[in-house]
């Protein structure tokens, strides 16, 4: 593997600034790496080779003339295929959007363009981000770079695999119920989901609007902070996006393990109610000991409503899915059936012929819980249980600063196998309560698969979350320079 690909985004940034490394060389190395390894992995749906090389040449010229436009000038990034880039296709890995061309830039893309980042390509995902394995993509499978027999996780599986395999320093994903953090953990990298409302979702294909956030996949906590700094900010086009000021997250990251002293870390006792992979548990115990050794206080917290998390999430997420996906009617854009006789038929056939099984299943269940007969019993009740969960989590934060757990309860499975319902329970809790969460790679199993640990903070504690995560990254002993053999 090319040495240049081993640099973190922050290092690349410094080296590009000082003229030590050229953007063109970085892009060329990434393209070579992708061409050499992605046939095996399938992380990318589309590679923007020519355009990226052209942009890199332009970036180099700007840097030479001291006209750097932003702080990601010349640095490549991969974008999950549900975020709009003006004039480019965006499929959300669905047949429905096969020929769709985005008429405008998502806010995050607008910001990244200003920062000078180069969009290397579009990454594979579960169809409309519905899934946890990237297997529901209508186009291709993505394999886990650490062992291609296994799933990379999902729904941002393409982004996770691309970063993990050293094809690109970092990538954007989206996280509705762990869709950034779960694949990041399965692929041995950092995955960050911001507090709900911190980063604009304008121009992102919606899944479940009361949970959706754009997230970041990177090789280090500092790289996540760098990318977060580039995309954070208030946006009137996403009404829930409300940060007051721009935040320079990266300036707060100092890998200072002193920060672990005097913090209180809560471990939910509910963790032990589930079937947890023995090696994950072993790693978790080690992680807790390392945190203790660094001066953190570990306390047991009791959040009884955790047991409702997967069920509650299914009800509300599917209800929101059924409403959001109603926009796909085959009229203004997307797939249109040629077999319809009248307008009503056109709606039904266009949807039926182009949407995948998982999407239809969620629409049907969502329609079921929203139908007059079941609305109060299912949907309304789930919203109330959501309040119960939020109240209990809020109470827990009176006693601790962060909630700590293994990222997943299970290791990645082989293709075609199904993860248990509770696998991502600690990730989904963050979406249900609108809280920030970050997974940091911690260790490896005996068979060489990576294991991640997850910190969840209180709402808008993202700066402190990054600090604690970077300190944890330092004490973890995880070798970030170890790449899967491909």
Partner 1 sequence: MLREELETIAFLAKIEIKENEKEKYLKDVGKIVDYIEFLQDPDTTNLKPTTHVTGLRNVWREDVVKACPKEIIDMMLDSSPEKEESFYKVKKVISD
Site membership for partner 1, residue 206 (CB under 8 A): no
**Residue of 322, 439, 470, 476 interacting with partner 1 (CB under 8 A):** 322
Classify 434 as helix, strand or coil: coil
DSSP string of 101-147, one letter each residue: B-SS--HHHHHHHHHT-EEEEEE--SGGG--SSSTT-SS----BTTB
Is the Cβ of residue 58 or residue 368 nearer to partner 1 in the bound state?
368
The number of angstroms, rounded, from the C-alpha of 189 to the middle of its chain's C-alpha atoms is: 11
Residues 358-417 that bind partner 1 (CB under 8 A): 360-361, 363-368, 371, 377-378, 380-388, 390-391
Least separation in angstroms between CB 57 and partner 1: 26
The total number of residues written for the chain in this structure = 486
* φ/ψ bin of 306: left (φ > 0), alpha (ψ from -120 to 50), beta (otherwise): alpha
DSSP string of 3-36, one letter each residue: GGGGS-HHHHHHHHHHTSS-HHHHHHHHHHHHHH
Classify 255 as helix, strand or coil: coil
Is the Cβ of residue 268 or residue 441 nearer to partner 1 in the bound state?
268
Name the phi and psi angles at 272, rounded to 5: -85, 5
Look up residue 156 and give its two tokens: 């941002």
Which residues are identified as catalytic? Answer: 80, 155, 179
Stretch binding partner 1 (CB under 8 A), from 70-78, 349-357, 405-413, 448-456:
349-357
Is the Cβ of residue 290 or residue 349 nearer to partner 1 in the bound state?
349
Binding mask 61-100 vs partner 1 (x if CB under 8 A, - otherwise)?
--------------------------x-----------xx
Sign of the Cα pseudo-torsion (49, 54, 55, 60, in order) = positive
Residues 159-188 that bind partner 1 (CB under 8 A): none
* Cα-trace Rg, the chain: 21
Is the Cβ of residue 247 or residue 471 nearer to partner 1 in the bound state?
247
Least separation in angstroms between CB 419 and partner 1: 14
**Residue of 13, 111, 222, 314 interacting with partner 1 (CB under 8 A):** 314
Which residues form the interface with partner 1 (CB under 8 A)? 87, 99-101, 103-104, 196-197, 210, 236, 239-240, 242, 305, 308, 311-312, 314-315, 318, 322, 329-336, 340-349, 351-352, 355, 360-361, 363-368, 371, 377-378, 380-388, 390-391, 421, 433-434, 459
């Amino acid at each position: 593997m090319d040495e240049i690909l081993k640099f973190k985004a922050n290092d690349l940034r410094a080296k590009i600034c000082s003229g030590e490394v050229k953007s063109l060389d970085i892009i060329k190395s990434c393209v070579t790496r992708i061409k050499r390894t992605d046939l095996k992995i399938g992380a990318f749906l589309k590679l923007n080779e020519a355009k990226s090389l052209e942009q890199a040449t332009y970036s180099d010229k700007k840097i030479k003339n001291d006209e750097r436009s932003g702080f990601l000038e010349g640095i490549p990034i991969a974008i999950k295929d549900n975020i709009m880039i003006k004039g480019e296709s965006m499929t959300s890995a669905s047949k429905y959007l096969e020929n769709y061309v985005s008429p405008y830039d998502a806010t995050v893309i607008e910001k990244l363009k200003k920062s000078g980042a180069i969009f290397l390509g579009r990454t594979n995902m579960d169809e409309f981000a519905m899934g946890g394995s990237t297997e529901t993509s209508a186009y291709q499978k993505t394999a886990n770079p650490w062992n291609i027999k296994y799933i990379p996780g999902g729904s941002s599986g393409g982004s996770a695999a691309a970063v993990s395999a050293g094809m690109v320093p970092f990538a954007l994903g989206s996280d509705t119920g762990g869709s950034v953090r779960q694949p990041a953990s399965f692929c041995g990298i950092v995955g960050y989901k911001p507090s709900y409302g911190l980063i604009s979702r304008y121009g992102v294909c919606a899944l479940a609007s009361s949970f959706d956030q754009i997230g970041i996949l990177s090789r280090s906590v500092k790289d996540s902070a760098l990318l977060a700094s580039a995309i954070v900010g208030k946006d009137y086009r996403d009404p829930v996006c409300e940060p007051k000021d721009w935040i320079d997250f990266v300036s707060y990251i100092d890998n200072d393990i002193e920060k672990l002293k005097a913090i209180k870390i809560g471990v939910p006792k509910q963790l032990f109610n589930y079937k947890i992979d023995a090696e994950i548990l072993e790693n978790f115990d080690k992680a807790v000991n390392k945190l203790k050794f660094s001066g953190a206080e570990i306390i047991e917290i009791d959040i009884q409503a955790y047991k409702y998390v997967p069920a509650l999430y299914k009800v509300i997420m599917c209800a929101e899915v059924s409403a959001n996906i109603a926009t796909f009617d085959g009229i203004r854009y997307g797939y249109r059936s040629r077999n319809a006789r009248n307008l009503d038929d056109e709606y039904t056939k266009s949807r039926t012929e182009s949407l995948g099984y998982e999407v239809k299943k969620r629409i049907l269940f969502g329609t079921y819980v929203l139908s007059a007969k079941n609305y109060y019993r299912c949907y309304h009740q789930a919203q109330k249980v959501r309040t119960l969960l939020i109240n209990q989590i809020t109470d827990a934060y009176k006693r601790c600063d962060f909630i700590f757990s293994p990222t997943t309860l299970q290791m990645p499975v082989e293709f075609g196998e199904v993860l248990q319902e509770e696998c991502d329970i600690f990730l989904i809790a963050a979406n249900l309560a609108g809280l920030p969460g970050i997974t940091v790679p911690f260790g490896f199993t005996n068979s060489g698969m990576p294991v991640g640990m997850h910190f969840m903070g209180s709402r808008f504690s993202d700066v402190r979350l990054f600090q604690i995560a970077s300190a944890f990254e330092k004490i973890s002993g995880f070798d970030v320079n170890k790449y899967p053999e491909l």
